[in-house]
């Protein structure tokens, strides 16, 4: 099990505890854990916006099986990098915000 999968399982378990009545005494801790991990995720998306491309594992190219050369990765355009999901949400929100701000500025 990768560390990311283990972390996701822990977060899922905390969410289940937070939402259910199985162990009421742990509910507060579960909410604190979820809030802290959400904050940590937001900060990490701000600090490290990219992750390894899932298609080429961050290499930016594939090895050709028969010809022996390399093929460019079409998914990341040879960079080997991909925007993380949280960062994509953040970017679209800030784009939306700047768009609405600009329209307010031109109307007045
Ligand atoms: Zn790629």
Q: What's the gap in Å between 73 CA and the centre of ligand 1?
A: 5
Q: What is the mean pLDDT of the chain?
A: 87
* Confidence check: pLDDT of 102 > 90: no
Distance, in Å, from the CA atom of 60 to the CA atom of 73, rounded to the nearest integer, reads 5
* Confidence check: pLDDT of 77 > 80: yes
80 phi-psi bin (left φ>0, alpha ψ -120 to 50, beta other): left
Q: What's the gap in Å between 62 CA and the centre of ligand 1?
A: 8
What is residue 7's predicted lDDT score, i.e. its pLDDT?
Answer: 86
Q: What's the gap in Å between 10 CA and the centre of ligand 1?
A: 29
**How large is the average pLDDT for residues 10-30?**
88
Q: What's the gap in Å between 61 CA and the centre of ligand 1?
A: 6
Closest-CA residue to 8 (of 34, 45, 47): 34
> How big, in percent rounded to 5, are the helix, strand and coil portions of the chain?
60, 10, 30
* Confidence check: pLDDT of 106 > 60: no
Distance, in Å, from the CA atom of 43 to the CA atom of 46, rounded to the nearest integer, reads 5
Distances (CA, A) of 3 to 8, 62, 91, 94, 104: 9, 26, 27, 31, 46
Q: What's the gap in Å between 40 CA and the centre of ligand 1?
A: 26
What is residue 25's predicted lDDT score, i.e. its pLDDT?
Answer: 87
**How large is the average pLDDT for residues 38-48?**
93
**How large is the average pLDDT for residues 49-73?**
85
**How large is the average pLDDT for residues 16-31?**
87
């Amino acid at each position: 099990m990768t560390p990311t999968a283990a972390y996701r399982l822990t977060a899922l378990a905390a969410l289940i505890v937070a939402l259910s009545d199985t162990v009421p005494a742990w509910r507060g801790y579960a909410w604190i854990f979820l809030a802290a991990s959400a904050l940590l995720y937001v900060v990490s998306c701000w600090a490290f916006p990219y992750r390894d491309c899932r298609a080429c594992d961050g290499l930016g190219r594939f090895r050709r099986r028969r010809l022996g050369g390399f093929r460019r990765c079409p998914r990341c355009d040879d960079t080997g990098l991909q925007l993380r999901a949280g960062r994509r949400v953040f970017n679209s929100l800030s784009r939306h915000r700047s768009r609405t701000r600009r329209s307010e500025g031109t109307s007045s």
